Chains A and B, each alone.
Chain A
Amino acid sequence: QVQLQESGPGLVKPSETLSLTCAVSGFSISSDYWWGWIRHPPGKGLEWIATIYHNGRTFYNPSLKSRVTISIDTSRSQFSLGLSSVTAADTAVYYCGRQLGNDLWSYDYWGQGTLVTVSS
């Protein structure tokens, strides 16, 4: 059974860098799937952040690209998100997910989500 679990600080100060990790279990992170991050700001809709393949190939949300880094560690079966220069607008529940293959760009498995609050 595919399971994803986000981890990281729940509170980040403005202007600092948000760092989250997603641990994947029950499935090989090196299989033919992409792995991504999506966030859900309070009272707003979902926002896609970025996606990565096991060979390190990445795609980013154009509106966040200058601040986002996504990376993958296949030996630890995990992938990570970095978001720099955060502001209150980056407060959200952050989800990691498995992206369906075959060029479909849909997420069929999701982590439970982790709330990150940006505040001093």
Chain B
Amino acid sequence: QSALTQPPSVSGSPGQSVTISCTGSSSDVGGFNRVSWYHQPPGTAPRLLIYGVRNRPSGVPDRFSGSKSGNTASLTISGLQTEDEADYYCSSFTSSNSVLFGGGTKLTVL
């Protein structure tokens, strides 16, 4: 299984919006509404931001939103804040009854 494809890096200025893409196939992202997004500041464990493509767990600000079109899922962060600087990972359930993660995207807030 190859990792889902994410851009290695994205950047934005405080207050702006950025979108991170996550591309897979019909056997994972495109075939199921089970895409998740995680945020991982350096040296910490990942934190769940989005599950089921677009649902936010309690406590996650509504600045974070998820969507999906075909085999590509997206995470949009609006109103960028300096504390959003971290690595972001997508994941998806697969037809092999497993979970596949993306390679990760480093978000830099300029």
Contact = CB atoms under 8 A, between A and B. Distances in A.
A111 B45 contact: yes
Given A47-B101, A108-B57, A112-B45, 14 more contacts: A45-B3, A45-B104, A46-B46, A46-B101, A48-B91, A51-B99, A60-B98, A62-B96, A104-B34, A105-B34, A105-B36, A105-B93, A107-B46, A110-B47
A49 to B, nearest CB: 9
Main SS class of interface, A: loop
Interface residues of A, number: 25
A16 B92 CA distance: 31
Interface size class of B (residues with CB under 8 A): 20 to 34
Contacts of A62: 1, 96, 98
A66 to B, nearest CB: 14
Contact of A104 (B46, B52, B103): B52
Nearest to B93: A105
A100 B34 CA distance: 11
A45 B96 contact: no
Interface string B48-60: 1001100001000
